[in-house]
Amino acid sequence: MMSLTVKPYSGMIITEDVTFEPGEYIFKDGRGILVAGSGITIDGNGAIIRGRGKVGSIYSYAGNGLFASGHSGVTVKSLALSGFQIGMKIMNGKNWIIEDNDLSDNYTDPDFGWGDGEPFGALYLENVSHSQICNNKGNNVWNGLNLKYSNNNIVTGNEMSHCTNVCLKLWGASNNEINNNVMNYGIRIAPGEVHARDSSSVLIENGSDNNRFMFNDFTYGGDGVFIRSLNGWVSRRNYFEGNDASYAHNNAWEVWDPDNTFVNNKGNYSSYGFWLGGSCHAVLIGNEAAYNGTRIANAPEPFGNAGVAVVNGSSSHFVMRNNHIHHNKSAGLAIGFKDGYESYHWIIEQNVITDNDTYGIYIKYANWISISGNLIENNRLGDIHEDVNVSNVIYNKSESVTDAQPPKANARLLTSRPEAGQAVFIDAAGSESMNGEALSFRWEMGDGTVLETKEVTHSYAKPGFYRVGLTVTDGVLSALDWIDVYVVPSSDSVIEKLHLESARLSGIAGGQFASLQVDEVHRLLNESSLLVTSAATLTQVDLPIQAGEKLNEASSLGIWLKYLHEVRDGFGHGSIIVKLIQDESNYLQYVINYPFYNWGKIASEARYGWSYCELPLAIRELDPTSDAWHASTVGAPKLENLKQMSISYASHGGFFSAWLNEIAFTN
């Protein structure tokens, strides 16, 4: 069928191929174009459609220039849309091609304060997958490209610049290829302002995983690239190569989440080059961090404005190799978290760290840091400075950067179900030297134990999470690996393990949603978990207790749990309550004593992994400084008469998922 050649008009509904007549069209009522068909092509043919929005009047913008929901296989090209709240809004589709469109000069608000504001701007995609977004423009808007729960898309050759919030935003968006785009000048700031209100060229959050960012221009943002997890839902396994995030007002790269990799990127001429507190399992290879704090120096730490600052958050199992860190206002590299939760298990090798105005490397609150094969020189106050609470720094000074190949490290947990008090077997099989040299091994087992053989056997006294680290070295260079080890109570100590398949939901208010299912994906030690999915303000899970008199032998109830909540502080103080119920007048109650994602109370790994909670059956007075749960007794319950365990989640709104596993009474 030949496409129609027509003049677009306000409220137009398109169900078939269409080509617009070139020209400028004014949609004064704020209504745009509605796409109501799949498998069609809309060729703008250079047409310009203007909504009613006027620059400087945020309330004059209305509607979407083009909107579609529930349609797939659509091509939209060569169309200009401006003056709307959103230039183009696509929802619930796949296999779209959006190319050569100009979505500039839609909603923007440079005077907006802190916060994300409304999801307005150039191009908004929600639940859109396997689509191509190529060679579009979206300048002078609030958000350039907004990907919400949109996966497996290709984003290339676009120009989304001069955005007053963010140029590119990912929210729960995974497996996208984002390459060769210009997405710069994402900044909202008043003269003399310090923090730029969290505006950035790129903002990644809420479980946006496994994306690849290659050869993009992210310069001149409030931050350049910002991976944020205010709600505790971390974004992991993202890969960045060849991107430039320099000239940021604050941090060229600001990352609070684990498992991300950075290769050959630039973070120069910003307040900080790379700010990576909270970035456990990070890998930095071949990046440049230079002249930070020299052009602008906002939010200085006590050590100053560093090229790479990995502070104020956890940083376990961290690798830096072949980076060039030079001419920064203070330290080249600053490392440290806090007393009792130190930066831990690092390799810093084959880097050039020179000409920084204080130290090459500044270390505070850190443990197990390996520094070898680097060129560290001409730093004004010294090459390496150890401040308070620094231990186990292995420093092998070098006059040049070695070109040797580092070994490979591979840690394997051989025991399928680690139990407290039982032998756990771990080895480093698969670790190898690239130079034929003999390897030496160092394990830290997460409970203070250090072992130095290739194969290790260890017993853990208590159930819980253990951070296990491995470093292998060939005498010149090193490599590391790690295992998150979860240890359950010994089988002999279990009085009753509750049956997850018997769980039921209760407490759901009318008109609200919640579901309960067995989850075969998120497993603990190969055991299926119980998954609660909910948008309700109160969700309760009930499980029967059947042990009867045997419970008199029990001393505690152990629960493994984790959750993801899309709302910041969605679970706050007291939002999770466990009850052990005899009847409605007699029960034991445990109220969580702080927001579960309080980094001061838990391991950072709990943001993506499992946490073990042990609730004592003998109620005692609360110690608010150390007790995770406030325990109390209502009535006079007897252990042998307990009939039901319930766990309730009081949510402050929004969607959440919660998992439970290995719920057991133990002696």
For range 561-570, the mean pLDDT = 92
Report if residue 443 sits inside a domain.
Answer: yes
* Residue at which a domain ends, from 232, 254, 283: 232
For range 545-561, the mean pLDDT = 97
* Residue at which a domain ends, from 487, 514, 531: 487
| More confident position, 9 or 603 | 9
Report if residue 453 sits inside a domain.
Answer: yes
Nearest to 655 by CA among 149, 129, 168: 149
User: Which strands form 455-459's sheet, in the order they lie side by side?
Assistant: 412-413, 423-427, 455-459
Report if residue 376 sits inside a domain.
Answer: no
Same domain, 428 and 507: no
Burial of 518 (C-beta count, 10 Å sphere; 0-12/13-18/19+): exposed
Same domain, 512 and 454: no
Nearest to 658 by CA among 545, 571, 568, 543: 571
Same domain, 576 and 446: no
**d(Cα 7, Cα 25) in Å, to the nearest integer?**
8
Q: What is the pLDDT of residue 584?
A: 96
Same domain, 72 and 121: yes
Percent of the chain with pLDDT over 70: 98
Q: How confident is the model at residue 572 (pLDDT cuts 50, 70, 90)?
A: confident
Report if residue 463 sits inside a domain.
Answer: yes
Same domain, 36 and 131: yes
**d(Cα 91, Cα 230) in Å, to the nearest integer?**
25
- Given a contact cutoff of 8 angstroms between Cβ atoms, the answer to whether 360 and 376 are in contact is yes
CB atoms within 10 A of CB 194: 11
**d(Cα 37, Cα 448) in Å, to the nearest integer?**
63
Q: What is the pLDDT of residue 599?
A: 47
- Given a contact cutoff of 8 angstroms between Cβ atoms, the answer to whether 62 and 51 are in contact is yes
**d(Cα 150, Cα 138) in Å, to the nearest integer?**
19
Q: Which residue has the tokens 């500044």?
A: 362
Q: Is the pLDDT of residue 125 over 60?
A: yes
- What's the CATH number where 145 sits? 2.160.20
Same domain, 73 and 35: yes
Q: What is the pLDDT of residue 624?
A: 66
Q: How confident is the model at residue 4 (pLDDT cuts 50, 70, 90)?
A: confident
* Residue at which a domain ends, from 487, 522, 546: 487
Same domain, 47 and 171: yes
Q: What is the pLDDT of residue 626?
A: 65
Percent of the chain with pLDDT over 90: 93
- Residue count of the chain: 667
Transcribe 32-69 into DSSP letters. -EEE--SS-EEE-TT-EEE-S-BTTBGGG--SEEEEEE
**d(Cα 254, Cα 268) in Å, to the nearest integer?**
13
Report if residue 197 sits inside a domain.
Answer: yes
**How many angstroms separate the Cα of 167 from the Cα of each of 135, 146, 181, 184?**
15, 8, 10, 7
Domain count of the chain?
3
- What's the CATH number where 607 sits? 2.60.120.430
Report if residue 393 sits inside a domain.
Answer: no
Same domain, 523 and 547: yes
Q: Is the pLDDT of residue 600 over 60?
A: no
Q: Bridge-partner residues for 284, per DSSP?
A: 262, 320
Q: What is the pLDDT of residue 195?
A: 84
At 65-85, the pLDDT tens digits run 999 999 999 999 999 999 999
Report if residue 160 sits inside a domain.
Answer: yes
Same domain, 455 and 525: no
Report if residue 367 sits inside a domain.
Answer: no
At 27-48, the pLDDT tens digits run 999 999 999 999 999 999 999 9
Same domain, 201 and 81: yes
Q: Is the pLDDT of residue 613 over 80?
A: yes
**d(Cα 306, Cα 359) in Å, to the nearest integer?**
9
Backbone angles phi, psi at 298, to 5 degrees: -80, 155
- Given a contact cutoff of 8 angstroms between Cβ atoms, the answer to whether 326 and 307 are in contact is yes
Q: Which domain holds residue 521?
A: 492-666
- pTM of the predicted structure, to 2 decimals: 0.96
**d(Cα 227, Cα 279) in Å, to the nearest integer?**
10
Same domain, 100 and 222: yes
For range 128-140, the mean pLDDT = 99
- Given a contact cutoff of 8 angstroms between Cβ atoms, the answer to whether 25 and 7 are in contact is yes
> Would you state the structure tokens that stand for residue 654, as one six-digit string?
């929004």
At 195-252, the pLDDT tens digits run 888 899 999 999 999 999 999 999 999 999 999 999 999 999 999 999 999 999 999 9
At 515-531, the pLDDT tens digits run 999 999 999 999 999 99
**How many angstroms separate the Cα of 615 from the Cα of each of 87, 419, 456?**
53, 18, 32
| More confident position, 594 or 360 | 360
The secondary structure of the chain in percent helix, strand, coil, rounded to multiples of 5, reads 5, 45, 50
Residue 629 CA, distance from chain mean position: 27
> Would you state the structure tokens that stand for residue 374, as one six-digit string?
């680097």
- What's the CATH number where 482 sits? 2.60.40.10
CB atoms within 10 A of CB 173: 30
Same domain, 475 and 499: no
> Would you state the structure tokens that stand for residue 579, as one six-digit string?
């009850």
For range 278-298, the mean pLDDT = 98
Q: Is the pLDDT of residue 598 over 70?
A: no
Task: Please state, rounded to an integer, the average pLDDT across all residues of the chain.
Answer: 96
